[in-house]
Amino acid sequence: MNKLLKLDKTGDSILLEEIKRTLGLKFDDELFLFSGKDYLVIKKIQKPSISERFGSLSKKIEKRFKKEELGEDVVDEAIKWARK
């Protein structure tokens, strides 16, 4: 967004609406704010979905298992151990 906004009596609500619309904000979204003497930066925090996080984690685990040359038997033993 490159826009010059001039604040008036209702400027705060105009500014917030413009930010929400530009960033596509929805309920429960998180923002990171940082500022300096004469500036403010607003960044929407992008959170991956549960399925994306699970997929990423499972790929890392699979890669590590291949690197360590671990087979299904090791996984089975680990599951049995964890369930004790």
Rounded CA separation 44/1 (Å): 13
Q: CA angle at residue 83 from 78 to 84, to 5 degrees? A: 105
12-16, 25-29, 76-80: range with lowest mean pLDDT: 12-16
First to last CA, the chain: 56
Residue with tokens 């300096």: 36
- Average pLDDT value for the chain: 84
This model's pTM is above 0.75: no
- Tens digit of each residue's pLDDT (9 = 90 or more) over 34-66: 999 999 888 888 888 889 989 999 999 889 988
The sign of the CA dihedral 8, 10, 14, 16 is positive
Q: Are 31 and 43 in contact (CB under 8 A)?
A: yes
Inform me whether the pLDDT recorded for 75 exceeds 90. Answer: no
The pLDDT of residue 1 is above 90: no
If one compares 39 and 15, the residue with the highest pLDDT of the two is 39
